[in-house]
Amino acid sequence: MDEQHRKRLLELIRNPPPGSKLEAARDHGIDLSLFLRSLEMTPAQRLRELGAAQPFLRALWGAAKRRG
């Protein structure tokens, strides 16, 4: 992603168009900056992050099952 695209996306995240789905997502508490962060990573980087999160997710699911 070049700097011009990054700046445009950052502007959309900070000031979503009125009535847009981005505005609705932001108003529901979704951190739109995470989308920009994800878009800046390569697919391989995103896969590494997903893999690194697996132990935590397994522990979370296990705790939910025990509680459940």
Q: Could you list the pLDDT tens digit for every one of the 68 residues in the chain?
A: 788 988 998 899 899 999 999 999 999 999 988 888 888 899 999 999 999 999 999 999 999 999 87
Domain ranges across the chain: 3-67
pLDDT (0 to 100) of residue 35:
84
CA of 62: how far to CAs of 9, 50, 53, 56, 67, in Å?
37, 18, 14, 10, 9
